[in-house]
A = this chain, B = another copy of it.
Amino acid sequence: VVWWGYMTRPATTETAASIGERELIRRLARLLPASDDMATGIGDDCAVLRVEGGSEDWVATTDPVIADVHFTADAPPRSIGRKAVGRVLSDIAAMGARPRWLFIDLVAPPDCPVAFLEDVYRGAEALAGRHGARIAGGDTATGSVLELHVFGIGSVPAGTAVLRSGAKPGQALCVTGRLGGSLEGGRHLEIEPRIAEGIWLRERGFASALCDISDGLLTDCRHLLECSGAGADLDLDAIPISEAAASASDERTPLDHALSDGEDFELLFAVPEERLDALSAAWPEAFPALPCTRIGTFTATPDVLRGRRAGEPFLPLDGDGYQHFVSAR
């Protein structure tokens, strides 16, 4: 596409790369009016759709998985399908919802072997089926690289979807699993969406705000703060670090990996103070193989994210996770 046929290029034209993914989404969302049948606007893990007279709300989201962006040439086809479905299931888990139906828009080069694509779909179907979701349709088209655009629908009892906006000062900030190194350890391809955990947290009132960690702990934490109008103080010594992050052989520390690496696909959530003891007691029984860790406390200073190591004062945390477009500059 020749962009400049339609407008005179000024000296400082804003592009997708120059403003970054988050600002681009903000700009585009601004053009879209809100509606009575949407319980939440653009910006949560899923949109919450209201059905008149229904006992359930529906949550819906979409995620792309693109060759050379979300996976590399050596990724096994089943893992590509699994990742594409796993990203969407993780967004549905982040609403405390049950996944129901998935749709896949497939873009494939003409010379792509059918057997390869069949394995992609086998990986997609295996993960979807394990979580009770069905791939119910989609479409195919020709393109220069392999892409899967997965759309997912989940359901949740009406009015109970856990949004990003419910965190209050004084509430605990908790996280499932161990963070960082998903690229180095290959876990970004072997997503385990926290469906059962998200439903469990919602049903028992343990989470007042909830999101998944897809862009990195700090970035997704900032999303929670922005939506909730709160701040947060992190206890950096408490952050659970994955084995892959601990053994990563680059110049970044294991903590840096845990704070900034994308694609952990763990749950990050706010716990009301009065539910914290009950959560601590019940979690290990419900999910013995998966840690759940308190890593901080929400504060009353909007958008201020700070961290401290033992015995040191709180300092502002300015690092960030992966943003599309900016990284591609």
Contacts and interface: CB of A to CB of B under 8 A. Distances in A.
Interface of A: 1-3, 5-7, 9, 13-19, 21, 24-25, 27-28, 31-33, 35, 37-38, 42, 46-47, 49, 51, 53-56, 58, 60-64, 66-67, 69-70, 73-77, 100-101, 103-119, 121-122, 125, 129, 134-147, 149, 151, 153, 324-325, 327-329
A100 to B, nearest CB: 7
Contacts of A100: 37, 49
Main secondary structure of the interface of A (DSSP, over half): mixed
A124 B21 CA distance: 19
A121 B31 CA distance: 7
Given A116-B7, A134-B33, A149-B105, A64 B14 contact: no
Contacts of A1: 67, 73, 75, 112, 145-146
Contact of A114 (B14, B38, B145): B14
Given A32-B134, A144-B144, A63 B3 contact: no
Contact of A3 (B17, B35, B113, B129): B113
Given A38-B101, A76-B6, A144 B145 contact: yes
Nearest to A101: B49
Contacts of A327: 142
Given A38-B136, A64-B105, A16 B117 contact: yes
Contact of A62 (B25, B46, B115, B151): B151
Contact of A107 (B13, B66, B117): B66
Contact of A111 (B16, B31, B149, B153): B16
A304 to B, nearest CB: 27
A2 B112 CA distance: 9
Contacts of A14: 113-115
A64 B141 contact: yes
Given A67-B1, A101-B49, A116-B3, A143 B147 contact: yes
